[in-house]
Structure formats: structure tokens, C-alpha cells
């Protein structure tokens, strides 16, 4: 039996977006970067505010596109890495690496 769906709780994507938005708005380094970086690209004699708004919009579009692509690749990677055969192989490889480190440590102490 499945639990009833709570319509008030946001979807994971919406929640992730909200957390990311609050994080970037609360980060003073992001604001300092924008204030220091963008003004150098305003053409001489151009109106400053519209130019900065356009540059900011372009920056938001580029960043959003980058993070959407990155999230998509992470989603694909998760699907691959959670397969039982892949997990088993990764555990075997990491176990082999740990044994190799142990052997190396034992040999160095001799």
C-alpha cells in the first residue's frame, strides 16, 4: 500500500532549486565577484544599468545551462553506478587498492 501524496511538499527538483537559490543569494563572495567582474565589460559610453542587467542575464543563462547539463550527467552517472554489477566491480577495485596500500606500507617498514 502506498502512502498518500502530500501536495504541499515541494518536488525534489523544486526543493533543490530553492536551496541553490538561497545558497547563492546568501553567499557574499558571489555578489563581490559579480560587482568586480562585470563592470569591465560595459562598453564605453553605454548606459551602465541596462548593460549590467544584460550581462547579468547572460551570466545567469550560461550558469544555469552549465548546471543543468552537469545535473543531467550526474543523474546518468547515478543510474550507472547504482547497478549491482557496477557496484560489485567498484567494491572489488577499491578492495584491491586498499590491499595494495597495505602491502606497500608493510614493504616500506621492512
Q: What is the pLDDT of residue 10?
A: 62
> Is 84 a residue whose pLDDT tops 70?
yes
Q: What is the pLDDT of residue 6?
A: 55
Give the pTM.
0.57
Three-class secondary structure of residue 24 per DSSP = helix
Q: Does residue 56 lie in a domain region?
A: yes
Q: Does residue 90 lie in a domain region?
A: no
Number of domains in the chain: 1
Counting beta carbons within 10 angstroms of the beta carbon of residue 78, is it exposed (0 to 12), middle (13 to 18) or buried (19 or more)? exposed
Domain that holds residue 70: 12-81
Q: Does residue 63 lie in a domain region?
A: yes
pLDDT per residue as tens digits for the range 16-51: 778 888 888 888 888 888 888 899 999 999 999 999
Distance separating alpha carbons of residues 95 and 88, to the nearest angstrom: 10
Q: Does residue 60 lie in a domain region?
A: yes
Q: What is the pLDDT of residue 16?
A: 77
Amino acid at each position: 500500500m502506498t502512502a498518500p501524496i502530500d501536495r504541499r511538499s515541494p518536488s525534489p527538483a523544486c526543493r533543490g532549486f530553492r536551496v541553490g537559490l538561497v545558497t547563492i543569494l546568501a553567499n557574499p563572495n558571489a555578489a563581490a565577484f559579480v560587482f568586480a567582474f562585470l563592470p569591465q565589460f560595459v562598453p564605453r559610453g553605454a548606459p551602465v544599468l541596462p548593460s549590467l542587467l544584460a550581462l547579468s542575464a547572460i551570466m545567469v543563462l550560461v550558469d544555469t545551462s552549465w548546471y543543468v547539463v552537469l545535473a543531467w550527467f550526474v543523474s546518468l552517472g547515478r543510474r550507472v553506478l547504482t547497478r549491482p554489477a557496477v557496484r560489485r566491480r567498484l567494491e572489488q577495485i577499491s578492495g584491491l587498492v586498499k590491499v595494495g596500500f597495505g602491502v606497500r606500507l608493510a614493504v616500506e617498514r621492512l
